[in-house]
Structure 1
Amino acid sequence: MIAHLIRWSVANRFLVLLAMAFLTAWGVWAVKTTPIDALPDLSDVQVIIRTSYPGQAPQIVENQVTYPLTTTMLSVPGAKTVRGFSFFGDSFVYVLFDDQTDLYWARSRVLEYLNQIQSRLPASAKSSLGPDATGVGWIYQYSLVDKTGKHDLSQLRALQDWYLKFELKTLPNVAEVATVGGMVKQYQIVIDPIKLASYGITQTEVREAVEKANQETGGGVLEAGETELVVRTDGYLKSINDFKAIPIRLANNVPVLLGDLATIQLGPEMRRGISELDGEGEAVGGVIILRSGKNARETIAAVHAKLEQLKPSLPAGVEIVTTYDRSHLIDSAIDNLSFKLLEEFLVVALVCVIFLGHFRSSLVAIVSLPLGVLIAFLVMRYQGVNANIMSLGGIAIAVGAMVDAAVVMIENAHKKVEAWQHEHPEEQLKGEAHWHVMTEAAVEVGPALFFSLLIITLSFIPVFTLEAQEGTTILRRWHLPKPTRWRQRRRFL
């Protein structure tokens, strides 16, 4: 079959050249559109369920939230492992699926089962799915720094949560913008138990009064002079004085206000950890999480452009400092491997010229190697494999096996030409005689070269299978890449 294919290719050289041009253009398109990253994504197909149960101890969270969720998620189609973790006020359930499962199909199934179990969870427990990202989705991290000292941690945190976060989430392929560090500002009601007891008021009454006071109510419309006026009550609490003016009950026909029973103040929300920058104190920052299977390099470039666009809008003295940027690793890996591939092409061409003494013969290797690399990118593109250190390194290693076949075929062609010239010393090898000799030389070694390369290819299948089985476990240790300049501490009570 290989011999017939070689003879047909020689007889239809124009079609072969046309197919080569088509493959070259197709391969260039694949190179430009293949997702680029520094690390191979071998993580499991997983869906994370985070349930917030404020103020509850880990054992209560385990019994009332984590256990019902894990037992329900065991029956999700395609789920192979379910892991539950209970913390103070939070529950995390990881649902791991089979490797070939589509991530968004898995998320829809988990959401379906989550809706079924929601009625069995406590009323104050709120569940949500984690971002559609993987363990290597942490691609960029930045910090907000104010060297003038005009803005405290709560103001920087508000700037991150209510401005930068929303702007960056609009970028394509950004799954989540997580905030780290800082303090979340909140209104705090510190009740005086002695005053509470003197008025005979319970904490439940105080809570219900605050909830009822912070509401908007519609009153319909009022027609006046052929004009409809919308009637509503504006009851949102906007300041400390608004909290102080909340009525609790009447005592001797005198209203008891919240300000008579408690101290109202602005303070930070209870924190579970802190973040530091360069050992100079606490800092506020954000982490860009890449959506699963997307191009990390393009997304980071979009983040750079967006941050440059947002910098003029920041308050005076506030700067955005990059603390982790994977694009540097991606660019250095791509540039290094690209340079090595170019070196291999030049060395192969030089060896062919020196040992064969024929420049046109070296063109066979110079043309076939880039074409083989482009075809490899085509396969990667349609298999969903991104260009990273491992895949490009594999291409660089495979160049040696690719060039072996070309060198053997060129050497055999030269031997056939020498034999023909020895038999016909007075004639020149050209025209149909030339193509006949080239065809016989290729047919002689073509089948053997094809099956030798096929054996080399098949010998790598166990390696790929081993990587598919063990690569996830190895990569899980790197679930969250550590930022270059950040030190994070987390303390559990």
Structure 2
Amino acid sequence: RSVQDFQVKYALNGVEGVSEVASIGGMVREYQVDVDPEALKAFGIGIHQVMQAVRNSNRDAGAKTIEVNQVEYLVRGLGYIRSVEDLEQAVVAVNDNVPLRIRDVARVTLGPATRRGLLDKGGAEVSGGVVIARYGANPLATIQAVKDKIAEIAPGLPSKVLDDGRVSQLTIVPFYDRTQLIQETLGTLEEALSLEVLITIIVILVMVAELRSSLVIASLLPLAVLLVFIAMRYFQVDANIVALSGIVIAIGTMVDLGIILSENVVRHLREQGVVKDLRRTIQEAAIEVAPAIVTAVSTTIVSFIPVFTLEAAEGKLFRPLAFTKTFALTGSVLVTLFLLPTFIHLVFGIDARRRGMRWMVRGVMLAGGLFAFWNGSLWAGITLLALLATHLLVDRLSGRDTRWQYLPLVVVLLAVVWLLAELWRPLGVERSLVLNVVLVGLAIGAILLFLWSLQR
């Protein structure tokens, strides 16, 4: 316990992000003065005089300065108690120029303080410390800094040689580490966020029923989420469960903005038939829906103003969610109005140069598929090679039947459903992946069929 109190505790207190280190367990060593009442009575002194003598004997005293040969020296009396003998020599009173010391009226020993509790680890009593992180500090960074500091001071901990010649080394082992809990919590939310993104992509693929438009809309999600994390870093919003839940809640609205813009562009392209100026058409379509997009998102953002005014516990709980959802909606508006039109022009403009680009696209698919197989990503490799095969097949058969143009969309849809089932595993990991894929496909198909019937 003394090593914890006077060595480990002060070392960990200096770690960045640590507020306090509280010692627990073990015996707290203290000086114990057992007064002899008969001796006090014989010398005619009181217990308060003994207490005052102990108090006065354990302090440093300054005596200003002394000048020697025109040089001033600071004078300081060092009086801290370092041993039992130092305390025994403390003067209680002086009778006839004879000092009465503590050892004359009491017995001084080293002993344990009154027990207030103990720390048990694996059935053995140990001494330990509770590291308390500073308010607002990053818990993962603080825990890692504490681990690094423990590794630094571990070689300097005391050791002793046992009777059989072995060396017993004092070590520091973790009692409760929050790292795994934090990582599992964030991993759970990350998995939920990934599943929601995949489900959103499936809905986009089926309901939009056009691969290029679906690609444009789906590209909005990673860009907007990236802007959210940049804003969270700038405004110092912690990435906890509540904060990340704001992103999850806002995904539906974020996708809606991309759907509105891309569908309006597609409508303009269909109305014009032969497009002479693609950039002009996209610009007109974007200008047409931009006020409605900004108004809709602004209404949602303004509704969060009361949440930002919350204080105390409720403010600490709900403000991060309001911040992240506001960041998500703002980022989606910026991406939709400033980046998405450029991406639409890039994707939809390939049609005009299709004959010059198709072999390049096929080459990219082939290279990407082979690289995915080499990198161990079976799902990505199969998807890219399947897209390459359907691309070649559609070129040959699209002239006979226009329904073949939906074949790449079906391939991408099946690949996303397969990935969703692999991550989700609704039947459990003990069941085969095929059964999980069938269940996910049936569940999503039933929901989408219901939504499709509402549209009709």
Could you state the TM-score of these two structures normalised by the residue count of structure 1? 0.54
Match of 1:173 in 2: 17
Taking the aligned partners of 1:190 and 1:392, their CA distance within structure 2 comes to 61
* SS of equivalent to 1:322: coil
Give aligned pairs, total: 308
- Residue identity matched to 1:415: R
Distance 1:235 1:351, change over 3 A: closer
Q: Distance in 1 between matches of 2:242 and 2:31?
A: 51
Deviation at 1:255, TM superposition (A): 4.7
Query: Structure 1 residues 241 and 254, CA, compared in 2 at 3 Å: closer, same or farther?
Result: same
Q: Distance in 1 between matches of 2:197 and 2:144?
A: 31
1:402 corresponds, among 254, 260, 264, to 254
Aligned to 1:261: 105
Q: 2:373 maps to what in 1?
A: none
Q: Is residue 238 from structure 1 mapped to residue 82 from structure 2 by the alignment?
A: yes
Query: Residue type matched to 1:293 in 2?
Result: G
Q: Residue 367 of structure 1: CA displacement?
A: 2.7
2:157 corresponds to 1:314? yes
Does residue 294 (structure 1) correspond to residue 137 (structure 2)? The answer is: yes
The correspondence for 2:269, drawn from 417, 424, 435, is 417
Go from structure 1 to structure 2 and tell me whether the alpha carbon gap of 1:338 and 1:313 turns closer, same or farther (over 3 Å shift): same
Q: Looking at secondary structure, tell me which structure has more helix per residue.
A: 2
Deviates more, 1:304-313 or 1:354-363: 354-363
- CA distance in structure 2 between the partners assigned to 1:289 and 1:470 by the alignment: 19
How do residues 342-361 of structure 1 correspond to structure 2 at under 5 angstroms?
Answer: 342-361=194-213
| Residue in structure 2 matched with residue 449 of structure 1 by the alignment | 293
**Residue 387 in 1 paired to residue 387 in 2?**
no
Aligned to 1:210: 54
Which string of whole-angstrom CA distances, capped at 9 and with x for unpartnered residues, describes residues 153-200 of structure 1? xxxx21112111221122222222222333321111111112211221
Identical columns (%): 37
**1:336 maps to which residue?**
188
Distance 1:472 1:447 in 2: 32
Q: Which has the higher contact order (CA 8 A, sep 6+)?
A: 1
Q: Which runs of 5+ in 2 are unaligned?
A: 159-167, 319-456
Q: CA RMSD in A?
A: 3.5
Structure 2 residue 216 is matched with structure 1 residue 364: yes
> SS where residue 301 of structure 1 aligns?
helix
The equivalent position to 2:120 in structure 1, one of 277, 293, 299, is 277
Assess if the C-alpha contact under 8 Å between 1:274 and 1:282 holds in 2. Answer: no
* Local SS of the residue matching 1:310: helix
Alignment gaps of 5+ in structure 1 = 1-156, 422-426, 476-493
Question: Amino acid of the residue matched to residue 412 of structure 1?
Answer: N
**How many Å apart are 1:339 and its aligned residue?**
3.7
Asked whether the 8 Å contact 2:26–2:119 carries over to 1, the reply is no
DSSP 3-state at the match of 1:182: coil
- Measured after TM superposition, the shift of residue 374 of structure 1 is 2.6
Partner of 1:32: none
Looking at secondary structure, tell me which structure has more strand per residue.
1
Q: Give me the whole-angstrom Cα distance separating, in 1, the residues matched to 2:104 and 2:17.
A: 52
Q: What does 1:425-436 correspond to in 2, within 5 Å?
A: 427=274, 429=275, 432=277, 434-436=278-280
Q: Whole-Å Cα distance in 1 between the matches of residues 125 and 316 of structure 2?
A: 34
Rounded to whole Å, the distance in 2 between the matches of 1:307 and 1:268 is 26
Query: For the structure 1 residues 222 and 340, does the alpha-carbon distance in structure 2 shift closer, same or farther, using more than 3 Å as the test?
Result: same
1:307 partner letter: I
2:228 corresponding residue in structure 1:
376
Worse-matched range after superposition: 301-310 or 200-209: 200-209
**Which residue is equivalent to 2:29?**
185
* 1:401, distance to aligned residue in structure 2 (A): 0.9
- Contact 2:307/2:315, CA 8 A, preserved across alignment: no
Deviations 1:438-460 (A, max 9, x none): 23333333322332233333444
Residue type matched to 2:119 in 1?
Answer: E
